[in-house]
Amino acid sequence: MTDRQITLSHAAIEALNWPPMTMAFDRPAHLPAPVQVGDKVTFTFSQTDSGYQLVHIAPLR
Ligand SMILES: [Cu+2]
């Protein structure tokens, strides 16, 4: 994991036909990282030319 990416283990995403997996998401420069390794999080992302970029991420409480 680089400081420009966050690795997440996510559940299945039916809209994309993705099974559960662990993968790296790009972190935009403006996105704060209010999460710690091991946190359960909720997040949104968008597809870009170079991969998948986080739009929002927050710890689940
Ligand atoms: Cu995935």
For the chain, the average pLDDT equals 89
- Please give the distance, rounded to the nearest whole angstrom, from the Cα atom of residue 8 to the centre of ligand 1: 8
Which of the pair, 61 or 26, is modelled with greater confidence?
26
- Please give the distance, rounded to the nearest whole angstrom, from the Cα atom of residue 9 to the centre of ligand 1: 8
Q: Are 10 and 23 in contact (CB under 8 A)?
A: yes
H or E element: which one contains 23?
Answer: strand 21-26
What pLDDT is stored for residue 61 in this prediction?
77
What pLDDT is stored for residue 40 in this prediction?
94
Tokens of 44: 């949104």
pTM, 2 dp:
0.82
What pLDDT is stored for residue 1 in this prediction?
47
- Please give the distance, rounded to the nearest whole angstrom, from the Cα atom of residue 13 to the centre of ligand 1: 8
Average pLDDT, stretch 1-14? 87
- What 8-state DSSP symbol labels residue 50? T
- Please give the distance, rounded to the nearest whole angstrom, from the Cα atom of residue 20 to the centre of ligand 1: 7
- Please give the distance, rounded to the nearest whole angstrom, from the Cα atom of residue 21 to the centre of ligand 1: 5
**Residues with Cβ within 8 Å of residue 22, at least 6 apart in sequence:** 7, 8, 9, 10
Which phi and psi angles does 57 have, rounded to 5°? -150, 140
